[in-house]
Amino acid sequence: MSDYDRTRARLIDVELDESIGRSTPDVEHERAVAIFDLIEENSFQPVNDSGAGPYRLKLSLAEQRLVFAVSREDGTPVVTHILSLTPLRRIVKDYYMICESYYDAIRSSTPSHIEAIDMGRRGLHNEGSQTLMDRLAGKIDIDFDTARRLFTLVCVLHWRG
């Protein structure tokens, strides 16, 4: 992909719909950081679009499904995809559990124990990222790093603080 195509096949804005709801200041901060990281570096191209990005993404929830509403830079709608969160539910739950173990271990465990937990945490994050990438296959082309950033955002959307 040329540099020109890379600047077009990307997200320039991510908005959370009011259906997602607001949370504690800590959670809102984590959401903002996840969105910033995603926008800062990503590869995002709706399948069968002429490549007239960059794109804006509005995320919302509808009946336990995550809605990806993609539009062009000027706001012209491109496509909307609705993903069931069911395939991600177990991974997100396990990810939270291992993150709690990781933060507890930081306070009281040996470096080797912390490293082992962190490897498990990264493995679950990769599994969730791959699952999200697979669920978007044929709908939105993303690279693995973008899938990781999107999975982080999905996790933060579920975090209640």
Instruction: Give 75-123 pLDDT, tens digit per residue.
Output: 999 999 999 989 888 998 898 888 888 888 889 999 999 999 989 989 9
Cα–chain-centroid distance for residue 106?
Answer: 25
Query: For position 3, what pLDDT does the model report?
Result: 47
Average pLDDT rounded to a whole number, residues 49-71: 89
Query: For position 2, what pLDDT does the model report?
Result: 47
Q: What is d(CA 28, CA 76) in angstroms, rounded to the nearest whole number?
A: 28
Query: For position 46, what pLDDT does the model report?
Result: 95
More confident residue, 117 or 20: 117
Burial label, 74 (beta-carbon count in 10 A; 0-12, 13-18, 19+): exposed
Q: For the whole model, what pTM was predicted?
A: 0.84
Query: For position 6, what pLDDT does the model report?
Result: 54
- The CA-atom distances, in angstroms, between 111 and each of 95, 105, 117, 122, 129 are 20, 9, 10, 16, 26
Model confidence at 23: pLDDT above 80: no
pLDDT band at 70 (very low <50, low <70, confident <90, very high): very high
pLDDT above 70 as % of the chain: 93
Beta-carbon contacts of 15 under 8 Å, excluding residues fewer than 6 positions away, are: 56, 57, 58, 59
Q: Which residue has the tokens 């995550």?
A: 66
Residue 2: closest CA among 36, 47, 39, 43: 43
pLDDT above 90 as % of the chain: 55
Model confidence at 10: pLDDT above 90: yes
Query: For position 156, what pLDDT does the model report?
Result: 79
Q: What is d(CA 40, CA 26) in angstroms, rounded to the nearest whole number?
A: 21
Spatial contact of 55 and 10, defined as CB atoms under 8 Å apart: yes
